[in-house]
Amino acid sequence: MDIWDCHVHCMGGETPDELLHQMDVGGITRVTVMSEFPGDFRHDCPPVTREAMHAAAQHVISLQQADPERVYGLLWADPRSEGVVDEIEWALSDGGLHGIKLVPNHWSPGDEFMLPIYEKVRDLGKLVSAHAGILYGFGASSAHCRPVNYEALLNVPGLKFALAHIGWPWTDECLAVFGYFKWVTYHAGEENRMWIDTCRGTPDAWRLEALQKAVSYCGTDRIMFGTDATVRGLGEVSPLHLAKDVELLRDVIGVSEAEQEQFFWGAAAAFHAGT
């Protein structure tokens, strides 16, 4: 079975050979890999400079260019940075990246200055992968990452996005937001444009319940497998997460083989389609 890991992080300095080797060791066919955060994780977290964001983009572009069939790159964008919209356009257009990664820290998804960013990504036919749930690092910023904050994306018709970690510990809230988008888009005659990234964040004690609810409520065509691993840790981490999720889905929840293929590949392929 082909495996698409929708959530892998660069930490800086990784080479294409390292990434492809780690994918092979970990049994991963394709990855969505996010650029490193081009700033620091301290509590006040000042805005990232445009130069630092550009360098981070160049790095992940180089990883993607090594094998564009297997590596799908995203730019970790700091929306408070000067020239961020232009930098996003360069990275996604000239650089060929598939979208942006957002981690709300000291800003919220519904802040007014976010609208031009969302509109630019949408107009380029790209996507947003967003952190949802408790935020480790950046000080007391988790309130910005509540899944309900992403209701603001209702104001950006046509923008495809995924919320990561099933929003843990607010997993029910994350699934409710999915249901809201599904309802709104259905009545507008459109396809639901929200996906759920199930990468870890849900500890083992919560994993079964969260996956069970996500499968039942969202369907496996909208929930994606992810590890939240670093590039250099992917070979070690991915087999563990794969084995646990296969066991839960197949042996406990009882999903079909076709549904497993959607979870581990098809949902991410649909999310990235056209980007």
Per the structure block, which two tokens stand in for 81?
Answer: 């940075």
Q: What is the mean pLDDT of residues 131-141?
A: 90
pLDDT of residue 169 exceeding 90: yes
Contacts of 86 (CB under 8 A, 6+ apart): none
CB-CB contact of 251 with 30 (8 Å)? no
| Mean pLDDT rounded to a whole number for the chain | 96
pLDDT of residue 160 exceeding 90: yes
Determine the longest span between alpha carbons in the chain, in angstroms. 50
Residues of the chain above pLDDT 90, percent: 92
Contacts of 128 (CB under 8 A, 6+ apart): 99, 100, 101, 102, 118, 121, 153, 159, 160, 161, 162
pLDDT of residue 220 exceeding 80: yes
Range 4-272 classified under CATH 3.20.20.140: yes
